[in-house]
Each structure stands twice: as structure tokens, then as C-alpha cells.
Amino acid sequence: AQSVTQLDSHVSVSEGTPVLLRCNYSSSYSPSLFWYVQHPNKGLQLLLKYTSAATLVKGINGFEAEFKKSETSFHLTKPSAHMSDAAEYFCVVRAGYQKVTFGTGTKLQVIP
């Protein structure tokens, strides 16, 4: 069994300040973990992925995430928020090639 929990449904930050979007997972197997972003009325775009290589993963647009097995976490961070980062973010866990589980999403609001 596997599950993923996004701890915040809504995060609001000021432009230029750091972003932290939290994700915890559970999985019976070694998981692959992903962060996807969905801008309004758009499809999902992959930000970054962890697949048992380096625990600190760098993605597009300055985002990065750290896989912490002891904490079963995969939090998404960015040093400085930009207005264009405002979107819905999904943490995703996958164990085995068939099953994938999405988190419930975190809406990021960036205040000018």
C-alpha cells in the first residue's frame, strides 16, 4: 500500500521569499517520488523526480526537493518565489510500475 499526504492545502508567500511545500509519503516498497505543477486551466507538468539516486533533487524553475527516508518526506522548496510560481502543486508517489498516487494538492499563492 502507498499513500501521500500534502500537509498544506494552501500556501501563501510574498514574492521574493522562500517557498516550502510539504509532502509526506508511505510506501511498502522503495518509492519514486515526483512533484508536478498545474497552472490554471493547464495540464500537469513535471517539476522534478526522485528515483533512488541523489536525495537532493533539482528541478525546473529553481525548485528542488530533498528525499528524507527517515522522515518519509519529500518537501519542495524554492529560495525565492516568483509571481509565475502561483499554481497548484501535486506530490506523487509510485511504487512498482503500475500504481501511482497523487496528493490532494497545495495551492501556492504569491503576493506581490
Using CB under 8 A as the criterion, which residues of the chain lie in contact with other proteins when the complex forms? 32, 34, 36, 38, 42-46, 49, 51, 88, 90, 94, 97-100, 102, 104-105, 107
CB-nearer residue toward other proteins: 19 or 105: 105
83 alpha-carbon distance from chain centroid: 18
CB of 40 to other proteins, least distance (A): 11
SS3 22: coil
CB-nearer residue toward other proteins: 40 or 112: 40
Torsion of CA 6, 9, 13, 15, to 10 degrees: 90
User: CA-to-CA distance for 95 and 69, rounded, in angstroms?
Assistant: 14
CB of 32 to other proteins, least distance (A): 5
User: CA-to-CA distance for 25 and 99, rounded, in angstroms?
Assistant: 14
CB of 94 to other proteins, least distance (A): 5
